[in-house]
């Protein structure tokens, strides 16, 4: 049974068709890349899948559940979590609290228990703390757990955003240009980390990235979006040789 | 020796009431980041409800206070749902409009209920005077007790502190930080915005009830935008997102106008100038987003010699 099934998802902004008949089926644990020139509609696909904007037409099924028209927070609770192209940190909160916030909907106590400081409050807080610290260690961020997130260098913030998304315990992670702005060393580190995380968490990933080496190195399957239309999909080597893809890229970048 | 006069006690009472108002508004404006200008409206609901219940219905003070607060809470929930879809300036204007509606409703309450009752033939069952319109509501049973006021101030701070330092509080703070990011992590932002708005309204209702039974005479004009702005100033001065900051802001801005009384007519010139100077030198408020306990902790470790790294200075600069 596929984890995600998007069928003919389209979005029209005024007169502009930003995404046309986007169709994608992903198995659990699969790694898929989404590439295309600037303005092709990649981020819009993420916004559509995760409920940040409603599709004009089409259907999205996650884990056998029709999530079309779900609100963004409901989609996240169903196990599909995205990051943003421009980092969106909780800048004034600590690194640790950024991760703890992401555990909110799985927390086993309510506002009453919080106000009265019932035993469930203490036991749950302990569990949340341990889980988040473990995750921070996993991403080598435990050294800065107590720092204010906004004061961290860019590379750390990029990593923190991924850690925070993982803290939701998603089954499918959508990463919008995770390597953008990173130096070659950081990019290489990220590649290794994503590979490990994916194995460890049995996570499926959909990845937007401009860095071709990066995408080719990590994805099993690639989709190419141009002007909102999926012009090609297949294995990395097929995509590399596809004349339509070459033309689209040479046309915009050559 | 300073002689404690009834004047001093009155200032202390208003200070306690202002603490409740400022701390609860900070939950909405500071932590949740939803700019509300309507706190005085919720205060009015609490004040009138509690006053009518003790005077006309003979309820005990505590029950009447809770009833007033609960009604303010209910209004906060009901009106929060549509209003909190708005953002920034629009939200500020809408919350201001909301408190104006409350005020106008209080002024016209008797007329309207009487007309409505007459329409369905129940005019004999409805009392002629409920809020007494623009005349104001006099002779409220007096409860001039600092114990009640500071008891409530303590309870308010404790409850809000426990909320803020919990999973619910993190959800609320994350909305103030970045609403879209919060939503992307599975947080029902609409729900938590409304909840924090209603909790803030609850304690504004408590403050209103305490105020009504202290002054024993209230009128709708006491709960105009001036009052909302006064509370907002306390929050901004103390630091958005710092509960102890709001307490400090309430203390300072209750005392300052009193001290400035010696300057007589110059008071209303000096007061705003002092505020402007303060905001120019410390735009993030006296405490910023930090709590007094954290600041004292940092000072303590520093005083003890080697402290950790200064806050805001990550030890990771070398990558
Ligand atoms: N909310 C919106 N309203 C109107 N038009 C939009 C909206 N969001 C995106 N668009 C338009 O849709 C098109 C696709 O934008 P999108 O951000 O999805 O591209 P992208 O592939 O992510 O590009 P990039 O590589 O630059 O990030 C663009 O022409 C953009 O202007
Ligand atoms: Mg994009």
- Per-residue pLDDT band at B268 (split at 50, 70, 90): confident
Q: What is the pLDDT along chain A (254 residues), one digit of tens a residue?
A: 899 999 999 999 998 999 999 999 999 999 999 999 999 999 999 999 999 999 999 999 999 999 999 999 999 999 999 999 999 999 999 999 999 999 999 999 999 999 999 999 999 999 999 999 999 999 999 999 999 999 999 999 999 999 999 999 999 999 999 999 999 999 999 999 999 999 888 899 999 998 888 888 889 999 999 999 999 899 988 888 888 888 877 665 44
| Lowest mean pLDDT, pick from A29-43, A73-87, B137-151, B244-258 | B137-151
Cβ contact (<8 Å) for A110 and B188? no
| Distances B103 to A202, B136, B197 between C-alpha atoms, Å | 58, 12, 19
Claim to verify: residue B107 and residue B182 sit in the same structural domain? yes
Claim to verify: residue B209 and residue B304 sit in the same structural domain? no
Number of domains in chain B: 2
Claim to verify: residue B132 and residue B257 sit in the same structural domain? yes
Task: Say whether residue A93 is in contact with chain B using an 8 A CB cutoff.
Answer: yes
Residue B231 in domain: yes
Residue B56 in domain: yes
Q: A9 alpha carbon to ligand 1 midpoint, in Å?
A: 15
User: Taking the CA of residue B145 as centre, how many other CA atoms within 13 Å lie in the half-sphere pointing to its CB?
Assistant: 10
Closest ligand by atom to A19 CA: 1
Distance CA A42, CA A229 (A): 10
Residue B95 in domain: yes
Claim to verify: residue B114 and residue B84 sit in the same structural domain? yes
Claim to verify: residue B126 and residue B219 sit in the same structural domain? yes
Has residue B313 got a pLDDT over 70? no
Cβ contact (<8 Å) for B184 and A50? yes
The residue segments making up the domain with residue B300 are 293-319
Tell how far CA B29 is from the center of its chain. Answer: 10
- Among residues B44, B298, B62, B83, which one has the least CA distance to residue B197? B83
Claim to verify: residue B255 and residue B319 sit in the same structural domain? no
Claim to verify: residue B23 and residue B79 sit in the same structural domain? yes
Residue B284 in domain: yes
Residues 210-249 of A with CB under 8 A from B: none
> In sequence order, what E strands does chain A have?
4-13, 16-26, 31-35, 57-62, 65-66, 80-82, 172-176, 204-208, 221-226, 229-234
Claim to verify: residue B298 and residue B284 sit in the same structural domain? no
Residue B1 in domain: no
Which CATH number is B134's domain given?
A: 1.10.3470
Claim to verify: residue B281 and residue B300 sit in the same structural domain? no
Residue B298 in domain: yes
Q: Which atom of ligand 1 is nearest to the CA of A228?
A: 14
Claim to verify: residue B137 and residue B157 sit in the same structural domain? yes
Residue B165 in domain: yes
Tell how far CA B253 is from the center of its chain. Answer: 14
A72 min Cα distance to partner chain B (Å): 6
Claim to verify: residue B253 and residue B269 sit in the same structural domain? yes
| Distances A217 to A138, A202, B129, B281 between C-alpha atoms, Å | 22, 19, 79, 52
Residue B260 in domain: yes
Residues of B with CB under 8 A from a CB of A: 159, 162-163, 166-171, 173-174, 177-178, 180-189, 195, 241, 289, 311-317, 319
Claim to verify: residue B217 and residue B313 sit in the same structural domain? no
Q: What's the ipTM?
A: 0.92
């Amino acid at each position: 049974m596929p984890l995600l099934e998007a069928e003919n998802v389209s979005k029209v902004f005024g007169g502009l068709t930003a995404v046309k008949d986007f169709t994608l089926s992903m198995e659990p644990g699969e790694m898929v890349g989404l590439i295309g020139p600037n303005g092709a509609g990649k981020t819009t696909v993420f916004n559509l899948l995760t409920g940040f904007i409603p599709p004009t037409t089409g259907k999205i099924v996650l884990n056998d559940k029709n999530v079309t028209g779900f609100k963004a927070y409901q989609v996240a609770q169903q196990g599909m979590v995205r990051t943003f192209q421009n980092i969106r940190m909780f800048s004034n909160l600590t690194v640790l609290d950024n991760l703890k916030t992401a555990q909110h909907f799985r927390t086993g106590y309510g506002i009453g228990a919080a106000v009265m400081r019932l035993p469930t409050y203490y036991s749950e807080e302990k569990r949340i703390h341990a889980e988040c610290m473990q995750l921070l260690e996993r991403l080598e961020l435990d050294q800065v757990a107590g720092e204010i997130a906004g004061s961290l260098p860019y590379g750390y913030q990029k990593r923190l955003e991924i850690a925070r998304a993982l803290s939701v315990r998603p089954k499918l992670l959508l990463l919008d240009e995770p390597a953008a702005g990173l130096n070659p060393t950081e990019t290489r580190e990220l590649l290794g980390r994503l590979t490990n995380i994916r194995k460890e968490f049995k996570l499926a990933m959909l990845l937007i990235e401009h860095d071709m080496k990066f995408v080719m190195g990590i994805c099993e399957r690639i989709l190419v979006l141009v002007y909102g239309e999926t012009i090609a999909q297949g294995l990395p080597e097929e995509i590399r040789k596809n004349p339509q893809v070459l033309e689209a890229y040479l046309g915009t970048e050559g | 020796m300073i002689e404690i006069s009834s004047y001093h006690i009155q200032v202390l009472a208003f200070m306690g009431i202002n603490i409740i108002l400022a701390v609860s508004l900070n939950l909405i404006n500071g932590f949740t980041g939803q700019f509300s200008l309507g706190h005085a409206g919720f205060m009015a609901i609490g004040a009138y409800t509690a006053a009518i219940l003790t005077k006309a219905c003979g309820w005990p003070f505590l029950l009447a206070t809770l009833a007033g607060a609960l009604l303010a809470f209910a209004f906060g929930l009901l009106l929060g749902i549509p209003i909190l879809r708005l953002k920034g300036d629009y939200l500020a204007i809408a919350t201001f409009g909301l408190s104006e509606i409350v005020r106008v409703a209080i002024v016209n309450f008797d007329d309207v209920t009487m007309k409505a009752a007459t329409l369905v033939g129940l005019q004999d069952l409805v009392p002629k005077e409920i809020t007494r319109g623009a005349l104001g509501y006099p002779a409220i049973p007096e409860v001039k007790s600092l114990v009640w006021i500071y008891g409530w101030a303590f309870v308010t701070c404790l409850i809000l502190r426990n909320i803020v330092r919990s999973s619910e509080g993190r959800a609320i703070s994350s909305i103030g930080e970045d609403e879209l990011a919060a939503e992307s992590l599975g947080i029902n932002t609409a729900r938590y915005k409304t909840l924090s708005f209603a909790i803030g309204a609850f304690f504004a209702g408590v403050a209103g009830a305490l105020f009504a039974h202290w002054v024993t005479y209230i009128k709708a004009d006491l709960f105009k935008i001036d009052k909302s702005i006064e509370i907002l100033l306390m929050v901004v001065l103390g630091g958005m997102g710092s509960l102890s900051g709001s307490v400090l802001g309430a203390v300072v801005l209750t005392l300052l106008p009193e001290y400035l009384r010696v300057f007589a007519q110059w008071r209303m010139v000096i007061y705003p100038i002092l505020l402007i100077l303060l905001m120019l030198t410390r735009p993030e408020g006296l405490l910023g987003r930090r709590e007094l306990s954290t600041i004292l902790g940092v000072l303590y470790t520093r005083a003890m010699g080697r402290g950790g790294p200064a806050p805001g200075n990550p030890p990771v600069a070398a990558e």
